[in-house]
Every structure is written in C-alpha cells, then in structure tokens.
Amino acid sequence: MTIYNLYIFNSAGSCIYYTEWHRKKQAGMSREEEMKLMYGLIFSLKSFVLKLSPVDCKEGFLNYRTSKYKLNFYETGTGLKFIMNTDVNAVNVRELLQRIYRDVYVEYVVKNPECKMGKEIVSEVFQSKLDKLVRSFPIFSNRIL
C-alpha cells in the first residue's frame, strides 16, 4: 500500500500546499496548471454528485477510484479541501486526512502567526509534522507496488 501525494486547497480555491511521497508520473504541465485542473475536477465532481444523487446525501463526494489509484477528498467545515491520492486498496484515508487537519494544520498553521491565513504554507515545522504523521500511518509504505 502506498500514499502518492497530497493537495490542500483553501476555501477560495487556491492551492496552499502540495507535497508528494511516491509519485511515479508527473502531470506533464506546470504545477500551477495542475492545481487549477485539480481544483476544477473537485469542484465539478462535487456538484455532479450533489445533483445526480437520488437521495439526500449528507457527505457528498468522498473519493473515486480508477484501476491504478484512488483519490480521497475531505472538506472541512471552513471550506478547506484535502485531497490525497493513494493506491486502490488504501483504507482509513479519511481518518488520516481528518487527523492532518486537526493535529497538523490547526496546530501548526492556524496557531502560527508566521503563516498568513489563506497564503501558501511555508512553515518547516508544519512540513515535518505532516511528514511524520503520514509516515506513521499503516497505509504508508516505502514498497512501491
């Protein structure tokens, strides 16, 4: 099992953080374009899912899966969006994303005056805590499948 990469978008739709662990194929475009594409995808999927749902759905869009990877989506009450690509069999990714938000983002970005709200995250302590948390999770493994 493995975790490929992580995107964090703020409520205004700009990417405030991106990091990757095992990414074997690049998008073939600039980072900036890739972020726009990703946000567009999430935005559209969210409204598709809501509109086409035959029942009243509370959670909305949570994840999708291809034959090769799984995209996991978690949106906080404040509109922050966490997107993590994992392999298809990864479980409990939602829990991991919630913990990233609760234990790392809130602690080391919200409570850090050096991190301006809504701007790109440059804090090194955030980076190292995030990396540590992700690596400690069972679904993270260095074996590339």
- Shortest distance, position 114 Cβ to another protein, whole Å: 5
Q: How far is the CB of 109 from another protein (least distance, A)?
A: 9
Closest CB to another protein among residues 15, 104: 104
Q: Which two tokens stand for residue 119?
A: 């701007």
Mention every residue, 6+ apart, whose C-beta is less than 8 A from residue 130. Answer: 6, 19, 100, 104
123 touching another protein, by CB under 8 A: yes
Q: Which of 5, 125, 131, 137 binds another protein (CB under 8 A)?
A: 125
d(CA 123, CA 138): 26
How many residues in total does the chain contain? Answer: 145
Residue type, 36: K
Tokens of 27: 């998008």
Q: Look up residue 65 and give its two tokens.
A: 């899966």
Using the rule CB under 8 A, is 58 a contact of another protein? no
| Residues between 83 and 112 with contacts to another protein, criterion CB under 8 A | 107-108, 111-112
Size of the site for another protein (CB under 8 A): 10
CA distance 43 to 96: 22
Q: How far is the CB of 104 from another protein (least distance, A)?
A: 11
CB of 102 to another protein, least distance (A): 13
113 binds another protein (CB under 8 A): yes
Confirm or reject binding of residue 128 to another protein (CB under 8 A): yes
Backbone angles phi, psi at 45, to 5 degrees: -55, -40
Cβ 108 to another protein, closest distance in Å?
A: 6
- Helix (H) / strand (E) containing 15: strand 15-20
Residues that bind another protein (CB under 8 A): 107-108, 111-114, 123-125, 128
